Amino acid sequence: AIIVYRLPWTWKCSKILMKFIHAGLNTIAMILAIVSMVAVFEYHNARNIPNMYSLHSWIGLTAVIFYSLQLFLGFAVFLLPFAPVPLRAALMPIHVYSGLTIFATVIATALMGITEKLIFSLKNPAYSASPPEATFVNCLGLLLVIFGALILWMASRAHWKRPPEENAKVLLPSGGTPEGTEAESTMTDGSNADKSGLRINSEAARKQNLKLDEAGQRSTM
């Protein structure tokens, strides 16, 4: 979901379409997270295992809570066409930063979770003896770190950024306003307003000169 705006073959798609894809992927991830949380608590209760005692569970629950808030605010501010452009421009850096932070937190939670599972599950031979199961899951953890680093690298590089909307037109809702990035649209609106103001002033001055010329012509007739 983070990199749907960063893939070059999606730059020709409309911004609103990519917003729906971004929101849809995040919604699927949220549903899976809720199902996972329910499964964990039911498993613990069935086995009489205490809930919420480890750092893994604390950070995991925190990530799910903040992820749900991120998803709700993303829908309300960026997907629905009601929020004003200045508000979107102000919240966009926070939305991006919090999304990357939650993603990194989820990677860390997964690493702690698989390590905790190995310590509790591997008894004979123990985790410290590096049985094949331990090697396999450690490799999985390394792949998670590489995956997270790759996503964060793509999200932080300027040349992966979606180009301005001159190359990708936006499908506007009725009464909507064009959006590149929210900050860019705000700047564009301001520059367009300045240019339109100059055109209006120039037109007014031209009409005033015409009136003066006509008045001068009448006075000489």
Domains and CATH numbers, the chain: 8-165 (1.20.120.1770)
Give me the pLDDT at residue 181, please.
Answer: 40
Give me the pLDDT at residue 218, please.
Answer: 38
- Report which of 40, 37, 61 is spatially closest to residue 49, judged by C-alpha positions: 40
pLDDT in tens, 85-103: 999 999 999 999 999 999 9
Cα 129 to Cα 140: distance, rounded to the nearest angstrom:
18
Give me the pLDDT at residue 164, please.
Answer: 79
Which residues, 6 or more positions from 43, have their beta carbon under 8 angstroms from its beta carbon?
49
- Report which of 95, 113, 101 is spatially closest to residue 54, judged by C-alpha positions: 113
Give me the pLDDT at residue 161, please.
Answer: 87
- Report which of 148, 52, 159, 41 is spatially closest to residue 100, judged by C-alpha positions: 148
Which pTM value belongs to this model?
A: 0.71
* Tokens of residue 126, six digits: 């123990």
Mean pLDDT of 118-137: 92
pLDDT in tens, 8-22: 888 888 989 999 999
Q: Please give the single-letter amino acid code of residue 124.
A: N
